[in-house]
């Protein structure tokens, strides 16, 4: 039986900044995933499913909102361990997501301890299950995609910071783009196989580009010059802790690999600035709708603006900035 076709990522209209953030975490899952903020109906799950098609396993696993810790990490059968002398492990969501995408809708509504555990495994790429002195360890390397509507509750700052990249959507889209989005969706719904066949060439190119970038990643140095720029700009932005520096550096290297470059350049650092800083400033605000304005036309704070669904682009901070960068206004 053939799997139901998914809407191809290459056919998604606009959303260039959000797609870029997804590509970067697919290239280097150690970045720590993407947190997408915004209202319902923004095609977040469509983008996440499309990303899974670009990975080797094609695996797309959703974590149910009411999941228990055992459902997430898996379970150990102690009776089997006592009678057979070995730990019998029943895999959970983390094991099933290995090599693919783990999608967590409304992550802000999950219990904090589950979010903490989820982020730990996403960062380490390994899940360790222990019970009564018996343990089992397995690979859990996945691209973590979390979504949330801030109006339904915020994540604690400690958890928010642990998501690698952050993109915000506002829901305001120019009429021409809205029409194009609807038309492609109607064409897909009427004949998914034909629609996917028409976009297969573009999908193949995306898969090849992601694969080449993953293969080249280790050869691109995390050099001191790039790190110096990033640490200065993190200090100027007033972010707490050091996670922003590390994530920004990893994301810049992934962006260099995405470009096919051999070293991190200023354009790589600039391209991912908003993604790395938006949720780590001491104060930040939801995106203001700016219909029809492209990231290159923005003269606002880093990270403000819109694409297909009004997402936050990776607007650059001034190169080598040492002055204090304005903080985001307090949310109402």
Mark out the alpha helices in the chain (DSSP H runs).
Answer: 16-27, 44-52, 69-73, 78-84, 93-96, 112-124, 157-162, 175-190, 192-198, 200-216, 224-237, 243-259, 266-271, 273-277
| For the chain, percent of residues with pLDDT exceeding 90 | 45
What's the pLDDT tens digit per position in 117-133? 998 898 888 999 988 77
Query: Is 243 assigned a catalytic role?
Result: yes
| Residue at token pair 């573009």 | 202
Cα 231 to Cα 242: distance, rounded to the nearest angstrom: 9
Following CA atoms 30, 31, 33, 38 in sequence, which dihedral angle do they give, to the nearest 10 degrees?
A: 180
Q: Per-domain residue ranges for the chain?
A: 9-177
For residue 105, which phi and psi values (nearest 5 degrees)? -80, 140
pLDDT for 330:
40
For residue 127, which phi and psi values (nearest 5 degrees)? -115, 125
Cα 290 to Cα 170: distance, rounded to the nearest angstrom: 9
| Residue at token pair 């209209």 | 13
pLDDT for 216:
96
DSSP assigned state of 150: G
**Choice among 49, 233, 243, 280 that is catalytic:** 243
Cα 147 to Cα 283: distance, rounded to the nearest angstrom: 20
Q: What mean pLDDT, rounded, does the chain reach?
A: 81
**Residue 51 near residue 9 (C-beta atoms within 8 A):** yes
**Residue 165 near residue 275 (C-beta atoms within 8 A):** yes
pLDDT for 309:
32
Following CA atoms 332, 42, 176, 292 in sequence, which dihedral angle do they give, to the nearest 10 degrees?
A: 40
pLDDT for 290:
40
Cα 209 to Cα 54: distance, rounded to the nearest angstrom: 9
Q: Which CATH number fits domain 9-177: 3.40.50.1100, 3.40.30.10, 3.30.70.260, 3.40.50.300?
A: 3.40.50.300
Specify the long-range contacts of residues 230-233, CB closer than 8 Å, at least 24 apart.
Answer: 230/269, 232/320, 232/321, 232/322, 233/269, 233/273, 233/317, 233/320, 233/321, 233/325
pLDDT for 4:
76
pLDDT for 164:
92
Cα 307 to Cα 304: distance, rounded to the nearest angstrom: 10
Half-sphere exposure of 99 (CA within 13 A, CB side): 6
Cα 132 to Cα 122: distance, rounded to the nearest angstrom: 25
With a cut of 50, list the residues of the chain below it in pLDDT: 1-2, 284-332
pLDDT for 221:
95
Distances (CA, A) of 34 to 1, 160, 230, 244, 324: 32, 11, 20, 13, 27
């Amino acid at each position: 039986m053939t799997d139901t076709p998914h809407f191809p990522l290459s056919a998604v209209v606009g959303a260039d900044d959000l797609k870029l953030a997804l590509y970067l975490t697919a290239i280097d899952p150690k970045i720590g995933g993407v947190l997408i903020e915004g209202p319902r109906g923004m095609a977040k799950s469509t983008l996440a499913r499309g990303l899974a098609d670009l990975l080797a396993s094609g695996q797309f696993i959703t974590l149910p909102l009411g999941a228990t810790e055992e459902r997430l990490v898996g379970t150990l059968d102690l009776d089997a361990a006592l009678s057979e002398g070995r730990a019998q492990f029943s895999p959970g969501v983390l094991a099933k997501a290995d090599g693919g995408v783990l999608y967590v809708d409304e992550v802000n509504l999950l219990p904090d301890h589950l979010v903490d555990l989820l982020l730990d495994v996403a960062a380490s790429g390994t899940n360790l299950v222990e019970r009564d002195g018996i343990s089992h360890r397995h690979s859990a390397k996945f691209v973590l995609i979390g979504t949330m509507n801030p109006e339904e509750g915020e994540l604690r700052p400690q958890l928010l910071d642990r998501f690698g990249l952050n993109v915000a959507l506002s829901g305001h889209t120019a009429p021409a783009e809205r029409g194009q989005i609807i038309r492609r969706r109607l064409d897909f719904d009427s004949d998914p196989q034909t629609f996917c066949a028409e976009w297969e060439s573009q999908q193949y190119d995306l898969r090849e580009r992601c694969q080449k970038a993953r293969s080249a990643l280790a050869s691109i140095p995390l050099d001191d010059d790039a790190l110096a720029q990033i640490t200065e700009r993190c200090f100027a932005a007033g972010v707490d802790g050091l996670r922003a520096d590390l994530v920004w550096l990893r994301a810049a290297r992934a962006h260099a690999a995405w470009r096919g470059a051999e070293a991190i350049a200023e354009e790589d650092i600039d391209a991912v600035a908003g993604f790395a800083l938006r949720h780590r400033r001491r104060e930040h605000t939801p995106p203001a709708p700016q219909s029809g304005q492209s990231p290159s036309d923005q003269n606002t704070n880093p990270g403000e603006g819109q694409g297909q669904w009004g997402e936050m682009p990776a607007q650059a901070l001034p190169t080598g900035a040492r002055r204090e960068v304005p903080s985001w206004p307090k949310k109402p």
